[in-house]
Structure 1
Amino acid sequence: MSGTLKVEEGRDRVLVQLDRPHVRNAIDAEMVAELHEVCDGLERRPRILVITGTDGVFAAGADIRQLRERRREDALAGINSGLFDRIARLPMPTIAAIDGPALGGGAELAYACDFRLATPRARFGNPEAGLGIMAAAGACWRLRELVGEPLAKEILLAGRVVSAEEALAVRLVNELVAEDELLAAADRLAARIARNAPLALRLTKLALAAPPGAHPRFDDVAQAVLFETEDKHERMTAFLERRRSDR
Protein backbone atom coordinates (compact mmCIF):
# COMPACT_ATOMS: atom_id res chain seq x y z
CA MET A 1 0.00 0.00 0.00
CA SER A 2 1.36 3.43 -0.93
CA GLY A 3 0.68 6.59 1.00
CA THR A 4 0.92 6.56 4.79
CA LEU A 5 1.29 2.84 5.56
CA LYS A 6 3.55 -0.07 4.71
CA VAL A 7 1.62 -3.33 4.89
CA GLU A 8 3.01 -6.88 4.90
CA GLU A 9 0.40 -9.62 4.46
CA GLY A 10 1.03 -13.02 6.00
CA ARG A 11 -0.89 -16.26 6.34
CA ASP A 12 -1.95 -15.68 9.94
CA ARG A 13 -0.95 -12.05 10.57
CA VAL A 14 -0.69 -8.62 8.96
CA LEU A 15 2.06 -6.14 9.82
CA VAL A 16 1.17 -2.46 9.40
CA GLN A 17 3.88 0.18 9.70
CA LEU A 18 2.80 3.78 10.12
CA ASP A 19 4.95 5.62 7.59
CA ARG A 20 4.85 9.40 7.86
CA PRO A 21 8.28 9.92 9.45
CA HIS A 22 8.53 13.54 8.30
CA VAL A 23 5.66 14.42 10.68
CA ARG A 24 6.41 11.82 13.37
CA ASN A 25 3.67 9.54 12.03
CA ALA A 26 0.92 12.05 12.77
CA ILE A 27 -2.45 10.47 12.02
CA ASP A 28 -4.12 12.34 9.19
CA ALA A 29 -7.23 11.72 7.10
CA GLU A 30 -5.29 9.69 4.54
CA MET A 31 -3.88 7.40 7.22
CA VAL A 32 -7.35 6.98 8.72
CA ALA A 33 -8.71 5.96 5.32
CA GLU A 34 -5.86 3.51 4.71
CA LEU A 35 -6.27 1.95 8.15
CA HIS A 36 -9.95 1.46 7.35
CA GLU A 37 -8.84 -0.42 4.22
CA VAL A 38 -6.70 -2.67 6.42
CA CYS A 39 -9.70 -3.29 8.67
CA ASP A 40 -11.81 -4.17 5.62
CA GLY A 41 -9.35 -6.92 4.76
CA LEU A 42 -9.08 -8.23 8.31
CA GLU A 43 -12.84 -8.39 8.69
CA ARG A 44 -13.14 -10.38 5.46
CA ARG A 45 -10.17 -12.63 6.28
CA PRO A 46 -9.50 -12.50 10.03
CA ARG A 47 -5.84 -12.52 11.03
CA ILE A 48 -3.71 -11.09 13.81
CA LEU A 49 -2.82 -7.41 13.34
CA VAL A 50 0.55 -5.94 14.35
CA ILE A 51 0.85 -2.13 14.20
CA THR A 52 4.20 -0.37 14.56
CA GLY A 53 5.82 2.96 13.78
CA THR A 54 8.85 4.29 11.93
CA ASP A 55 12.31 5.57 12.90
CA GLY A 56 11.82 5.48 16.68
CA VAL A 57 8.32 7.00 16.67
CA PHE A 58 5.05 5.10 17.03
CA ALA A 59 2.74 8.07 16.46
CA ALA A 60 3.09 11.53 17.98
CA GLY A 61 -0.63 12.29 17.71
CA ALA A 62 -3.22 13.40 15.23
CA ASP A 63 -2.18 15.78 12.47
CA ILE A 64 -2.57 19.19 14.16
CA ARG A 65 -2.82 21.09 10.86
CA GLN A 66 -5.90 19.06 9.94
CA LEU A 67 -7.22 18.94 13.50
CA ARG A 68 -7.15 22.74 13.77
CA GLU A 69 -9.58 23.01 10.86
CA ARG A 70 -12.07 20.45 12.10
CA ARG A 71 -15.44 21.69 13.32
CA ARG A 72 -18.43 20.37 15.24
CA GLU A 73 -19.67 18.07 12.48
CA ASP A 74 -16.22 16.51 12.16
CA ALA A 75 -16.22 15.69 15.87
CA LEU A 76 -19.71 14.21 15.67
CA ALA A 77 -18.58 12.05 12.74
CA GLY A 78 -16.07 10.33 15.05
CA ILE A 79 -13.26 10.30 12.51
CA ASN A 80 -10.57 8.86 14.79
CA SER A 81 -12.81 7.32 17.45
CA GLY A 82 -14.68 5.31 14.81
CA LEU A 83 -11.44 3.94 13.39
CA PHE A 84 -9.97 3.01 16.77
CA ASP A 85 -13.23 1.36 17.82
CA ARG A 86 -13.17 -0.65 14.61
CA ILE A 87 -9.59 -1.74 15.33
CA ALA A 88 -10.58 -2.73 18.87
CA ARG A 89 -13.45 -4.83 17.46
CA LEU A 90 -11.40 -6.68 14.84
CA PRO A 91 -12.12 -10.41 15.00
CA MET A 92 -8.59 -11.53 15.88
CA PRO A 93 -6.18 -10.10 18.49
CA THR A 94 -4.21 -6.94 17.76
CA ILE A 95 -0.69 -5.99 18.88
CA ALA A 96 0.83 -2.50 19.07
CA ALA A 97 4.64 -2.61 18.83
CA ILE A 98 5.72 0.75 20.21
CA ASP A 99 9.13 2.40 19.92
CA GLY A 100 9.35 6.03 20.98
CA PRO A 101 6.42 8.36 21.61
CA ALA A 102 2.79 7.26 21.47
CA LEU A 103 1.05 10.53 22.19
CA GLY A 104 -2.45 11.91 21.68
CA GLY A 105 -4.14 9.96 18.90
CA GLY A 106 -1.08 7.71 18.72
CA ALA A 107 -1.61 6.71 22.34
CA GLU A 108 -5.30 6.15 21.70
CA LEU A 109 -4.43 3.87 18.79
CA ALA A 110 -2.18 1.85 21.12
CA TYR A 111 -4.88 1.72 23.82
CA ALA A 112 -7.31 0.24 21.26
CA CYS A 113 -5.05 -2.76 20.66
CA ASP A 114 -5.27 -5.96 22.71
CA PHE A 115 -1.54 -6.10 23.48
CA ARG A 116 1.18 -3.46 23.72
CA LEU A 117 4.88 -4.27 23.41
CA ALA A 118 7.32 -1.43 23.89
CA THR A 119 10.97 -0.46 23.92
CA PRO A 120 12.60 1.42 26.81
CA ARG A 121 12.31 4.69 24.89
CA ALA A 122 8.53 4.39 24.48
CA ARG A 123 6.36 6.93 26.27
CA PHE A 124 2.63 7.48 26.50
CA GLY A 125 0.63 10.66 27.00
CA ASN A 126 -2.50 12.56 26.09
CA PRO A 127 -1.79 16.30 25.86
CA GLU A 128 -5.09 17.14 24.15
CA ALA A 129 -6.40 19.44 26.90
CA GLY A 130 -3.37 21.67 26.36
CA LEU A 131 -4.54 22.13 22.77
CA GLY A 132 -8.06 23.11 23.79
CA ILE A 133 -9.68 19.74 23.06
CA MET A 134 -10.11 16.41 24.84
CA ALA A 135 -8.84 12.91 24.16
CA ALA A 136 -12.08 11.85 22.54
CA ALA A 137 -10.91 8.82 20.54
CA GLY A 138 -11.04 6.36 23.42
CA ALA A 139 -8.57 7.54 26.05
CA CYS A 140 -11.18 8.89 28.46
CA TRP A 141 -12.59 5.41 28.99
CA ARG A 142 -10.07 2.89 27.64
CA LEU A 143 -7.25 4.39 29.69
CA ARG A 144 -9.31 4.25 32.87
CA GLU A 145 -10.02 0.57 32.22
CA LEU A 146 -6.36 -0.14 31.46
CA VAL A 147 -4.55 1.68 34.28
CA GLY A 148 -7.25 2.80 36.73
CA GLU A 149 -8.87 6.15 37.35
CA PRO A 150 -6.14 7.90 39.42
CA LEU A 151 -3.39 7.46 36.82
CA ALA A 152 -5.80 8.10 33.95
CA LYS A 153 -6.68 11.45 35.52
CA GLU A 154 -2.99 12.37 35.85
CA ILE A 155 -2.44 11.63 32.17
CA LEU A 156 -5.61 13.24 30.85
CA LEU A 157 -6.02 16.19 33.23
CA ALA A 158 -2.48 16.98 34.35
CA GLY A 159 -0.55 16.08 31.20
CA ARG A 160 1.55 13.35 32.76
CA VAL A 161 3.70 11.44 30.27
CA VAL A 162 4.27 7.83 31.29
CA SER A 163 7.66 6.23 30.64
CA ALA A 164 8.06 2.71 29.29
CA GLU A 165 9.11 1.42 32.71
CA GLU A 166 6.07 3.01 34.38
CA ALA A 167 3.80 1.64 31.65
CA LEU A 168 5.13 -1.86 32.28
CA ALA A 169 4.66 -1.49 36.04
CA VAL A 170 0.95 -0.63 35.62
CA ARG A 171 0.52 -3.26 32.86
CA LEU A 172 -0.31 -0.72 30.19
CA VAL A 173 2.55 -2.48 28.40
CA ASN A 174 2.80 -6.27 28.34
CA GLU A 175 6.53 -6.50 27.73
CA LEU A 176 9.60 -4.29 27.30
CA VAL A 177 12.16 -5.32 24.68
CA ALA A 178 15.21 -3.76 23.04
CA GLU A 179 14.62 -1.57 20.00
CA ASP A 180 16.14 -4.09 17.60
CA GLU A 181 14.02 -6.90 19.09
CA LEU A 182 10.64 -5.19 18.92
CA LEU A 183 9.25 -6.75 15.76
CA ALA A 184 10.72 -10.14 16.65
CA ALA A 185 8.93 -9.95 20.00
CA ALA A 186 5.69 -9.04 18.22
CA ASP A 187 6.18 -12.02 15.90
CA ARG A 188 6.74 -14.34 18.87
CA LEU A 189 3.58 -13.11 20.55
CA ALA A 190 1.62 -13.43 17.29
CA ALA A 191 2.95 -16.98 16.87
CA ARG A 192 1.81 -17.91 20.41
CA ILE A 193 -1.64 -16.51 19.67
CA ALA A 194 -1.81 -18.22 16.28
CA ARG A 195 -1.27 -21.65 17.84
CA ASN A 196 -4.77 -21.42 19.30
CA ALA A 197 -8.00 -22.25 17.50
CA PRO A 198 -9.06 -19.22 15.43
CA LEU A 199 -12.76 -19.43 16.28
CA ALA A 200 -11.98 -19.91 19.97
CA LEU A 201 -9.86 -16.75 19.84
CA ARG A 202 -12.61 -14.79 18.14
CA LEU A 203 -15.32 -15.86 20.58
CA THR A 204 -13.07 -15.33 23.60
CA LYS A 205 -12.31 -11.80 22.40
CA LEU A 206 -16.04 -11.15 22.04
CA ALA A 207 -16.65 -12.53 25.54
CA LEU A 208 -13.98 -10.23 26.99
CA ALA A 209 -15.67 -7.23 25.35
CA ALA A 210 -19.21 -8.20 26.33
CA PRO A 211 -20.97 -6.18 29.07
CA PRO A 212 -21.28 -7.84 32.50
CA GLY A 213 -24.96 -8.54 31.97
CA ALA A 214 -24.19 -10.75 28.97
CA HIS A 215 -22.43 -13.32 31.17
CA PRO A 216 -22.74 -16.24 31.63
CA ARG A 217 -25.33 -16.64 28.87
CA PHE A 218 -23.02 -15.37 26.12
CA ASP A 219 -20.26 -17.69 27.30
CA ASP A 220 -22.59 -20.69 27.30
CA VAL A 221 -23.77 -20.02 23.76
CA ALA A 222 -20.24 -19.37 22.49
CA GLN A 223 -19.04 -22.58 24.12
CA ALA A 224 -21.94 -24.48 22.53
CA VAL A 225 -20.75 -23.29 19.12
CA LEU A 226 -17.16 -24.35 19.87
CA PHE A 227 -18.22 -27.76 21.18
CA GLU A 228 -19.61 -28.58 17.74
CA THR A 229 -16.47 -27.69 15.75
CA GLU A 230 -14.17 -30.22 14.13
CA ASP A 231 -11.23 -28.13 15.34
CA LYS A 232 -12.21 -28.77 18.98
CA HIS A 233 -12.50 -32.53 18.38
CA GLU A 234 -9.17 -32.73 16.55
CA ARG A 235 -7.29 -30.66 19.13
CA MET A 236 -8.65 -32.60 22.09
CA THR A 237 -7.97 -35.92 20.37
CA ALA A 238 -4.37 -34.85 19.67
CA PHE A 239 -3.99 -33.77 23.32
CA LEU A 240 -5.21 -37.14 24.63
CA GLU A 241 -2.97 -39.04 22.20
CA ARG A 242 0.07 -37.02 23.29
CA ARG A 243 -0.73 -37.70 26.93
CA ARG A 244 -1.00 -41.46 26.25
CA SER A 245 2.32 -41.48 24.41
CA ASP A 246 4.01 -39.67 27.33
CA ARG A 247 3.09 -42.41 29.82
Structure 2
Amino acid sequence: MTLIVEEGADRVVWRLNRPQVRNAIDRELVAALHEACAAVEEEPRVVLLTGEGTTFAAGADIAQLRERDRGDALRGINSRIFDRIHRLPMPTVALVDGYALGGGAELAYACDFRIGTPRTRIGNPETDLGIIAAAGAAWRLAELVGEPLAKEILLAGRVMTAEEARAVHLLNDVVEPEDLLAAGHRLADRITARAPLATRLTKAVFHAPRAAHPFVDDLAQAVLFETEEKHARMTAFLDRRKERRP
Protein backbone atom coordinates (compact mmCIF):
# COMPACT_ATOMS: atom_id res chain seq x y z
CA MET A 1 0.00 0.00 0.00
CA THR A 2 1.76 3.14 -1.22
CA LEU A 3 -0.69 5.53 0.45
CA ILE A 4 -2.19 5.05 3.90
CA VAL A 5 -5.49 6.90 4.36
CA GLU A 6 -6.79 7.62 7.85
CA GLU A 7 -10.40 8.83 7.70
CA GLY A 8 -11.96 11.32 10.11
CA ALA A 9 -15.28 13.12 10.29
CA ASP A 10 -13.91 16.52 9.26
CA ARG A 11 -10.38 15.65 8.12
CA VAL A 12 -8.31 12.91 6.56
CA VAL A 13 -4.63 12.03 6.94
CA TRP A 14 -2.73 10.80 3.89
CA ARG A 15 0.58 9.07 4.54
CA LEU A 16 2.99 8.53 1.66
CA ASN A 17 4.10 4.97 2.36
CA ARG A 18 7.29 4.18 0.45
CA PRO A 19 9.86 4.81 3.19
CA GLN A 20 12.30 2.31 1.69
CA VAL A 21 12.81 4.76 -1.21
CA ARG A 22 12.24 7.94 0.84
CA ASN A 23 8.63 8.13 -0.38
CA ALA A 24 9.64 8.68 -4.00
CA ILE A 25 6.57 9.38 -6.10
CA ASP A 26 5.88 6.62 -8.63
CA ARG A 27 2.91 5.77 -10.84
CA GLU A 28 1.28 3.56 -8.19
CA LEU A 29 1.44 6.36 -5.62
CA VAL A 30 0.04 8.84 -8.15
CA ALA A 31 -2.88 6.48 -8.81
CA ALA A 32 -3.51 6.14 -5.06
CA LEU A 33 -3.48 9.93 -4.66
CA HIS A 34 -6.04 10.28 -7.45
CA GLU A 35 -8.29 7.80 -5.65
CA ALA A 36 -7.85 9.67 -2.36
CA CYS A 37 -8.65 12.99 -4.08
CA ALA A 38 -11.86 11.56 -5.50
CA ALA A 39 -13.03 10.63 -2.01
CA VAL A 40 -12.32 14.11 -0.63
CA GLU A 41 -13.96 15.78 -3.62
CA GLU A 42 -17.06 13.68 -2.91
CA GLU A 43 -16.99 14.40 0.84
CA PRO A 44 -14.95 17.59 1.41
CA ARG A 45 -12.62 17.49 4.39
CA VAL A 46 -9.32 19.03 5.44
CA VAL A 47 -6.34 16.95 4.25
CA LEU A 48 -3.16 16.42 6.28
CA LEU A 49 -0.44 15.03 4.01
CA THR A 50 2.70 13.49 5.45
CA GLY A 51 5.35 10.87 4.73
CA GLU A 52 6.18 7.68 6.55
CA GLY A 53 9.68 7.58 8.04
CA THR A 54 11.93 10.61 8.25
CA THR A 55 11.36 11.93 4.71
CA PHE A 56 8.34 13.73 3.28
CA ALA A 57 9.14 12.84 -0.34
CA ALA A 58 12.56 12.83 -1.95
CA GLY A 59 11.10 13.45 -5.39
CA ALA A 60 9.87 11.39 -8.29
CA ASP A 61 11.03 7.81 -8.67
CA ILE A 62 14.19 8.40 -10.76
CA ALA A 63 14.25 4.85 -12.12
CA GLN A 64 10.76 5.37 -13.56
CA LEU A 65 11.49 8.95 -14.56
CA ARG A 66 14.52 7.92 -16.60
CA GLU A 67 12.34 5.70 -18.77
CA ARG A 68 9.59 8.25 -19.38
CA ASP A 69 9.37 9.70 -22.88
CA ARG A 70 7.80 12.68 -24.62
CA GLY A 71 4.34 11.14 -24.43
CA ASP A 72 4.64 10.65 -20.69
CA ALA A 73 5.67 14.28 -20.24
CA LEU A 74 2.69 15.49 -22.26
CA ARG A 75 0.35 13.36 -20.13
CA GLY A 76 1.44 15.35 -17.08
CA ILE A 77 1.58 12.37 -14.73
CA ASN A 78 2.72 14.37 -11.71
CA SER A 79 1.52 17.84 -12.70
CA ARG A 80 -2.08 16.70 -13.00
CA ILE A 81 -2.26 15.05 -9.60
CA PHE A 82 -0.56 18.00 -7.90
CA ASP A 83 -2.97 20.40 -9.60
CA ARG A 84 -5.88 18.22 -8.46
CA ILE A 85 -4.59 18.38 -4.88
CA HIS A 86 -4.22 22.15 -5.19
CA ARG A 87 -7.88 22.39 -6.26
CA LEU A 88 -9.36 20.24 -3.49
CA PRO A 89 -12.39 21.95 -1.96
CA MET A 90 -11.09 22.20 1.62
CA PRO A 91 -7.62 23.31 2.76
CA THR A 92 -4.65 20.94 2.57
CA VAL A 93 -1.69 20.86 4.95
CA ALA A 94 1.70 19.34 4.03
CA LEU A 95 3.58 18.04 7.08
CA VAL A 96 7.16 18.15 5.84
CA ASP A 97 9.74 16.21 7.82
CA GLY A 98 13.17 15.70 6.29
CA TYR A 99 13.66 16.08 2.56
CA ALA A 100 11.07 17.48 0.16
CA LEU A 101 12.95 17.58 -3.13
CA GLY A 102 11.90 17.77 -6.76
CA GLY A 103 8.44 16.29 -7.06
CA GLY A 104 8.25 16.08 -3.28
CA ALA A 105 8.74 19.83 -3.03
CA GLU A 106 6.19 20.40 -5.78
CA LEU A 107 3.68 18.28 -3.87
CA ALA A 108 4.25 20.47 -0.80
CA TYR A 109 3.91 23.65 -2.88
CA ALA A 110 0.52 22.43 -4.12
CA CYS A 111 -0.85 22.38 -0.57
CA ASP A 112 -2.40 25.41 1.12
CA PHE A 113 -0.19 25.19 4.22
CA ARG A 114 3.20 23.65 5.01
CA ILE A 115 4.53 22.79 8.47
CA GLY A 116 8.11 21.56 8.81
CA THR A 117 10.62 20.31 11.35
CA PRO A 118 14.20 21.48 12.03
CA ARG A 119 15.47 18.79 9.65
CA THR A 120 13.26 19.89 6.73
CA ARG A 121 15.15 20.53 3.50
CA ILE A 122 13.22 21.72 0.45
CA GLY A 123 14.32 22.43 -3.09
CA ASN A 124 14.21 21.58 -6.79
CA PRO A 125 17.37 19.96 -8.23
CA GLU A 126 15.70 18.93 -11.51
CA THR A 127 18.10 20.76 -13.84
CA ASP A 128 20.93 18.69 -12.36
CA LEU A 129 19.12 15.66 -13.82
CA GLY A 130 18.62 17.23 -17.23
CA ILE A 131 14.94 18.10 -16.80
CA ILE A 132 12.82 20.96 -15.44
CA ALA A 133 10.53 21.19 -12.42
CA ALA A 134 7.44 20.64 -14.56
CA ALA A 135 4.86 19.74 -11.89
CA GLY A 136 4.20 23.25 -10.62
CA ALA A 137 7.43 24.64 -9.18
CA ALA A 138 8.42 26.52 -12.34
CA TRP A 139 5.46 28.87 -11.83
CA ARG A 140 3.97 28.17 -8.40
CA LEU A 141 7.20 28.74 -6.45
CA ALA A 142 7.48 32.37 -7.56
CA GLU A 143 3.97 32.99 -6.24
CA LEU A 144 5.01 31.55 -2.89
CA VAL A 145 8.46 33.09 -2.30
CA GLY A 146 8.98 35.71 -5.01
CA GLU A 147 10.90 35.60 -8.27
CA PRO A 148 14.52 36.12 -7.12
CA LEU A 149 14.47 33.31 -4.55
CA ALA A 150 12.45 31.04 -6.80
CA LYS A 151 15.06 31.43 -9.53
CA GLU A 152 17.85 30.64 -7.09
CA ILE A 153 16.08 27.41 -6.11
CA LEU A 154 15.14 26.43 -9.66
CA LEU A 155 18.20 27.56 -11.59
CA ALA A 156 21.04 27.34 -9.06
CA GLY A 157 19.91 24.34 -7.03
CA ARG A 158 19.51 26.07 -3.69
CA VAL A 159 18.05 23.75 -1.04
CA MET A 160 16.41 25.67 1.77
CA THR A 161 16.67 24.78 5.43
CA ALA A 162 13.62 24.81 7.66
CA GLU A 163 14.43 28.19 9.16
CA GLU A 164 15.14 29.73 5.75
CA ALA A 165 11.83 28.42 4.46
CA ARG A 166 10.03 29.69 7.56
CA ALA A 167 11.60 33.14 7.16
CA VAL A 168 10.07 33.52 3.68
CA HIS A 169 6.76 31.92 4.77
CA LEU A 170 7.23 28.88 2.58
CA LEU A 171 6.73 27.01 5.86
CA ASN A 172 3.95 28.30 8.08
CA ASP A 173 5.55 26.80 11.16
CA VAL A 174 8.48 24.66 12.31
CA VAL A 175 7.96 22.14 15.12
CA GLU A 176 9.82 19.15 16.50
CA PRO A 177 9.32 15.92 14.52
CA GLU A 178 7.38 14.26 17.32
CA ASP A 179 4.92 17.21 17.32
CA LEU A 180 4.46 17.42 13.55
CA LEU A 181 1.20 15.51 13.21
CA ALA A 182 -0.25 17.19 16.31
CA ALA A 183 0.64 20.59 14.84
CA GLY A 184 -1.23 19.62 11.68
CA HIS A 185 -4.27 18.63 13.71
CA ARG A 186 -4.15 21.91 15.65
CA LEU A 187 -4.25 23.82 12.39
CA ALA A 188 -7.05 21.56 11.15
CA ASP A 189 -8.95 22.31 14.37
CA ARG A 190 -8.72 26.04 13.64
CA ILE A 191 -9.94 25.53 10.08
CA THR A 192 -12.81 23.18 10.93
CA ALA A 193 -14.07 25.45 13.72
CA ARG A 194 -15.19 27.82 10.99
CA ALA A 195 -18.19 27.47 8.71
CA PRO A 196 -17.25 24.72 6.21
CA LEU A 197 -19.03 26.21 3.20
CA ALA A 198 -17.57 29.66 3.90
CA THR A 199 -14.11 28.05 4.06
CA ARG A 200 -14.65 26.22 0.78
CA LEU A 201 -15.87 29.31 -1.01
CA THR A 202 -13.08 31.47 0.42
CA LYS A 203 -10.51 29.05 -0.99
CA ALA A 204 -12.26 28.99 -4.36
CA VAL A 205 -12.51 32.80 -4.53
CA PHE A 206 -8.88 33.18 -3.41
CA HIS A 207 -7.70 31.08 -6.36
CA ALA A 208 -10.07 32.57 -8.94
CA PRO A 209 -8.42 34.48 -11.82
CA ARG A 210 -8.06 38.23 -11.31
CA ALA A 211 -10.49 38.92 -14.15
CA ALA A 212 -13.23 37.01 -12.30
CA HIS A 213 -13.22 39.47 -9.38
CA PRO A 214 -15.30 41.03 -7.93
CA PHE A 215 -18.09 39.01 -9.52
CA VAL A 216 -17.07 35.69 -7.96
CA ASP A 217 -16.72 37.37 -4.55
CA ASP A 218 -20.26 38.73 -4.77
CA LEU A 219 -21.62 35.43 -6.06
CA ALA A 220 -20.02 33.44 -3.22
CA GLN A 221 -21.32 35.96 -0.68
CA ALA A 222 -24.81 35.72 -2.16
CA VAL A 223 -24.78 31.97 -1.62
CA LEU A 224 -23.55 32.32 1.96
CA PHE A 225 -26.03 35.07 2.85
CA GLU A 226 -28.86 32.58 2.28
CA THR A 227 -27.49 29.81 4.51
CA GLU A 228 -28.88 28.86 7.90
CA GLU A 229 -25.35 28.62 9.27
CA LYS A 230 -24.63 32.29 8.50
CA HIS A 231 -27.76 33.33 10.37
CA ALA A 232 -27.04 31.02 13.32
CA ARG A 233 -23.41 32.10 13.66
CA MET A 234 -24.23 35.80 13.45
CA THR A 235 -27.05 35.40 15.96
CA ALA A 236 -24.70 33.63 18.35
CA PHE A 237 -22.14 36.43 17.91
CA LEU A 238 -24.72 39.10 18.72
CA ASP A 239 -25.97 37.14 21.73
CA ARG A 240 -22.45 36.84 23.11
CA ARG A 241 -21.92 40.57 22.69
CA LYS A 242 -25.12 41.28 24.61
CA GLU A 243 -23.98 39.02 27.44
CA ARG A 244 -20.69 40.93 27.75
CA ARG A 245 -22.39 44.28 28.13
CA PRO A 246 -22.70 45.60 31.71
SS at match of 1:116: strand
1:185 match: 183
- 2:239 is equivalent to residue 236 of structure 1: no
- 2:208 is equivalent to residue 201 of structure 1: no
Moved over 3 A (4+): none
Could you list the per-position Cα deviations for residues 143-202 of structure 1 after superposition, in whole angstroms to 9, with x for gaps in the alignment? Answer: 000000000001000000000000000000000111110000000000000011111011
**Partner AA of 1:234 in structure 2:** A
Shift of 1:217: 1.0
Write out aligned runs for 1:156-175 (5 A). 156-175=154-173
In 2, distance between residues paired with 1:174 and 1:244?
36
**Partner AA of 1:238 in structure 2:** A
In 2, distance between residues paired with 1:184 and 1:244?
36
**Partner AA of 1:203 in structure 2:** L
Q: CA RMSD in A?
A: 0.6
Could you list the per-position Cα deviations for residues 81-109 of structure 1 after superposition, in whole angstroms to 9, with x for gaps in the alignment? Answer: 00000000000000000100000000000
**Partner AA of 1:31 in structure 2:** L
1:80 match: 78
2:41 match: 43
2:151 match: 153
Stretches of structure 2 that go unaligned for 5 or more consecutive residues are none
Could you list the per-position Cα deviations for residues 183-230 of structure 1 after superposition, in whole angstroms to 9, with x for gaps in the alignment? Answer: 000000000000111110111001110111111111011100100001
Shift of 1:246: 1.6
- 2:116 is equivalent to residue 118 of structure 1: yes
Stretches of structure 1 that go unaligned for 5 or more consecutive residues are none
SS at match of 2:170: coil
Shift of 1:117: 0.3
SS at match of 1:92: coil
Instruction: Select 1:90's aligned residue among 88, 91, 94.
Output: 88
In 2, distance between residues paired with 1:230 and 1:72?
52
In 1, distance between residues paired with 2:120 and 2:150?
18
In 1, distance between residues paired with 2:135 and 2:189?
30
2:61 match: 63
So what's the TM-score if we normalise by structure 1?
Answer: 0.98
**Partner AA of 1:219 in structure 2:** D
In 1, distance between residues paired with 2:226 and 2:165?
41
In 2, distance between residues paired with 1:185 and 1:26?
24
The total of aligned residue pairs comes to 245
SS at match of 1:95: strand
SS at match of 2:6: strand
